[in-house]
Structure 1
Amino acid sequence: MTQKLLKAEIHCHIEGAAPPSLSRRQAEKYGIDVSDVIQGDSYVWRDFADFIRCYDRIASLFRKEEDYAVLTETYLLDLAEIGTIYSEIIVSPDHGDRIGLGADAYLAGITDGILSARSKTGIEARIIVTGERHFGPERVIAAADYAARSHNPLVTGFNMAGEERMGRVADYARAFDIARDAGLGLTIHAGEVCGASSVRDALDLVRPSRIGHGVRSIEDPELLRRLSVEGIVLEVCPGSNIALKVFAGFAQHPLPHLMAAGIRVCINSDDPPFFNTSLQREYDLAATELGMTRSQIDAMTRTALEAAFVDEETRTSLLTRFDAHLAGNDDAHVS
C-alpha cells in the first residue's frame, strides 16, 4: 500500500525490535529455553504486565556488545529496505548494567550497528537513552546522568518508558532537568496505559517537545488545544495501541482525530514483532484502517523529521531528501 513512500520513525525500543528468528538464534547461542515466550514466529504474552515480562526475557538474550551490533544493524537494514531514511532507537544503558555487559559496551554495540547500517544503506539513526519507570526514580536519574556524560554524538535524546502506572511524574522530573541541561531532546511515555492526566503532568513537569504515545489525550478537549498550541509532537503507535487494548480496534483509534485537531503526530512501530507489526505495516494501517490520505501520511513523516533529535544540518539534509522524493512522486493517492 505505502511501499513507495519514504518513511521515518522516532519511537522504537531496540530490544523490542528483535525479530523472533533472531531471538531464537540468540537463545540457542546461550542455551536458553524460550518456549514460554516464543511460539512459532510470534512472541507470547497476555496483558501489559505480561508483555513487560516477555520483553525482559527477550532482552536477556542479548548479552554481548556484538549481539547488540547485530540486533541494531538487522533492524535498521530492514527499515532501509522499505524506504526509511531516519530512525531513533530507544535504549536502556541501565539494562546493559543489569545483564553484566556494562552500559558502555551496550552503547558501543548499538553504535556499531548504526554505523554499519548507515555505511551500507545511508539510513540515519540516533539514540534516545531511556530510564525505566518501574525501577524507580534513582535509576531513571542515573540513566539521565549517563546520557548527559556519554559524549557519544549519536546520543541525542532522553526518554522515560516502562510501567506508566508506577510513581508520579514529579518523582522523575530531576532526570529530565539533567538531560535538558545537557542539551538532549526530551520525550516521555504518557497517555498510553494512563489517561489524559498523565500527559498534562508530563507537559507541566517535564516540558518535553514530544510525547511517546499520548493517544489518551483524546479524552480531554482542553488538553488537545494545549498540545496544538504548544506544537507538541505525539509519537503515535497504532498497532501497539490495539495489541495492548488501549483501544478496542482501529475504528476507535484517535490518530485521524488528533491530526484533525491540529496536533503534530507521526507514525511509529514501538516494539514491532511483539505486536505483530512493522513500520511498513503501520504506514499501511494508516492508509487502510485509519483512512488517511497520501498527503496526510507524508505530513506525518515530515513531522517526524522536523521533530527528530538531530543537529540542524542533518535535519536539513533529511528534509531535502524527503522533499526531492515527493517532487518525483506526486501521485494523489496511496497505492
Structure 2
Amino acid sequence: MNKTIKEIPKIELHCHLDGSVSPTYIQTQAKEQNIAIDMTKISANAQCQSLDEYLRCFDEILKVMQTSKSLSDSVIDVVSQAHHDGVKYIELRFAPKFHMDQGLSLSEVLNAVVQGAVQAEHQYPVIVRLLVCGMKHHSNAENIEVFKQIHTQPSIQKYIVGVDLAGGEEDEAMMQFAECIEYAQTHNMNLTLHAGECGCNKNVYDAIKLGAQRIGHGVSSIKDVQLLETLKTEDVLLEICPCSNLQTKAIRHISEIDLPLLKKLDVPFLINTDNRGVTQTNLIKEYTLLLENELLTMEDIAIINRKALKYAFVESEVKVQLMNRYFNE
C-alpha cells in the first residue's frame, strides 16, 4: 500500500518549516552551533492535551534555527522529506519573527529561507514556494512590519507567494486582525488563515469574510453544514491535517474528519502534514490512516491532489506545467 501511495503525485499546502525539520537536522545543527537541545521536547505524543501544549515543542526546535545557514538548510531538509512522500509541489510556511533571537533582521531571515528554497529545487524534483506567517499573539503593526518586507523586496517575490496568521486560537478573535489582513490584500498577497482548529466556527466564517482563499485546518467546519456550503460557494479550500488534529485534541477520533461528507458536498480540501517533525508524521502516514479508516480511497488521493492544485498560490504558468506533467492522467 505504502509504495502505491508514494507513487501518486501529491501537493502539500500546509507545512510549517520549523515544525517539520527532522531530528537529524536538529542534532546536526545543535552540534554545529554548539547548542544543548533536549531531544525529548521536540515532538508531541499521544498524551498531548491541547494545541497550546503542542506548540511548546517549537521552543526547543527554534533554538537551532537562528542563523542564515540553519534556515537555508531547514528548507532543504523538509523538501527532502516531502520528496520521499511523492510530493511534486510544496508550500512551506514560516514566521520570520521567530528566527531573530540571535540578531538576524527580517530581511535576512526572508532571504535565507528563499535561498534554501532555491537550493532545494536544485537538489530535488519538487517545486517549492513559501508562505510568511504573521502571528495571532502579535499586534497588527508587528504583522504589517513582516508583510511589508515582502512587497518591498522584489527579489524574494517569486518564492514568497502568500501570507498566513498562525498560532494559538481564541474564540471569535479573527476580526481583530482585519488591519494586517487588509494590508496584505491591498498589496496583492495571497491569503490563507488558520481558523477552526480549536472548535470556533465563527473564526472560519470571519476568515472567509476577510478574504481567505484557504483555511488552515478548519476541521471544526465539518460539524456545520451551512459553513460547508459557504466554503463551497466561496470556493475556499480546507487545508486538513489529520494526525496533528488528533494530537492537539482538535478531534478525538479520525472519523470526525468526515471526508465522505466533504466529497458529497463538493467542499474543496487537501490532506497535509502540518508539522512533520513535531507530529512525527509524513504524507504517506496521513493517507494510510485515512485509507484504513475508510475515509478515502486510493482513487480519491489522486483526485483531491489534482483538484487542490487549483488552490496553490504558485504562478499560473508553473501550475500548468505541474498539471501537464503530473496530474493529467
Q: TM-score, normalised by structure 2?
A: 0.91
**Alignment check: 8 A CA contact 1:69 1:113 kept:** yes
Aligned to 1:113: 116
Matched, 1:141 2:141: no
Q: Which amino acid aligns with 1:163?
A: G
Query: Which of 278, 296, 300 is 2:300 aligned to?
Result: 296
The question of whether the paired residues in 1 share the 8 Å contact of 2:255 and 2:295 is answered with: no
1:28-86 Cα deviation digits (max 9, x unpaired): 333333327448xx556653222222213211211211111111011112212332110
Query: What do the CA deviations read for 1:203-239 (whole angstroms, capped 9, x no partner)?
Result: 12x2111111111012222111111111110111111
Other-structure match for 2:89: 86
2:59 maps to a residue whose letter is D
Q: Does 1:160 align with 2:165?
A: yes
TM-score (normalizing by structure 1): 0.90
The one-letter amino acid of 2:263's match is M
Q: Which amino acid counterpart does residue 274 of structure 2 have in structure 1?
A: D
What corresponds to 1:72 in structure 2? 75
CA contact (8 A) 1:209 1:232 kept: yes
Residue 239 of structure 2 is aligned to residue 210 of structure 1: no
Which residue of 58, 64, 67 maps to 1:55? 58
Q: Does the C-alpha gap of structure 1 residues 59 and 289 become closer, same or farther in structure 2, counting only changes over 3 Å?
A: farther
For residues 192 and 127 of structure 1, the distance between their equivalents in structure 2, rounded to whole angstroms, comes to: 22
Q: What is the distance in 1 between the residues matched to 2:172 and 2:201?
A: 16
Moved more, 192-201 or 250-259: 250-259
- Which residue of structure 1 aligns with residue 128 of structure 2? 125
Identity of aligned residues (%): 27
Superposed displacement of residue 291, structure 1: 3.1
Which of 222, 228, 246 lines up with 1:224 in the alignment?
Answer: 228
Q: In structure 2, what is the equivalent of residue 331 of structure 1?
A: none
Aligned to 1:235: 239
Q: Is the 8 A contact 2:172 2:200 kept in 1?
A: no
The alignment of Structure 1 onto Structure 2 pairs a total of residues equal to: 322
Could you tell me how far 1:113 is from its partner in structure 2? 1.8
Equivalent-residue separation in structure 1 for 2:144 and 2:258 (angstroms): 33
Counterpart of 1:173 (choices 169, 175, 178) is 178
1:322 aligns with 2:296: no
Superposed CA RMSD in Å reads 2.0
Which amino acid in the other structure matches residue 128 of structure 1? L
The runs of 5 or more residues in structure 1 that have no matched partner are: 327-335
In the alignment, structure 1 residue 23 sits paired with structure 2 residue 26:
yes
> Within 1, Cα distance between the matches of 2:110 and 2:40?
26
Query: Match for 1:307: what amino acid?
Result: Y
Post-superposition offset of 1:290: 4.2
Q: Which has the higher contact order (CA 8 A, sep 6+)?
A: 2
Distance 1:197 1:252, change over 3 A: same
In 1, distance between residues paired with 2:65 and 2:171?
26
2:200 corresponds to 1:200: no
Name the SS of the counterpart of 1:135 in structure 2.
coil
Structure 2: which amino acid aligns with 1:169? M
Shift of 1:12: 0.6
Question: What is the CA distance between 1:287 and its match in structure 2?
Answer: 2.0
AA aligned opposite 1:181: T
CA contact (8 A) 1:256 1:290 kept: no
Q: Report what 1:8 is aligned to.
A: 11
Cα distance in 1 for residues equivalent to 2:288 and 2:170? 31
CA apart distance, 1:96: 2.9
8 Å CA contact retained: 2:241, 2:272: yes
CA positional deviation for 1:99: 4.2
Q: Aligned partner of 1:6: which letter? A: P
- Return the match for 1:272 from 258, 261, 276: 276
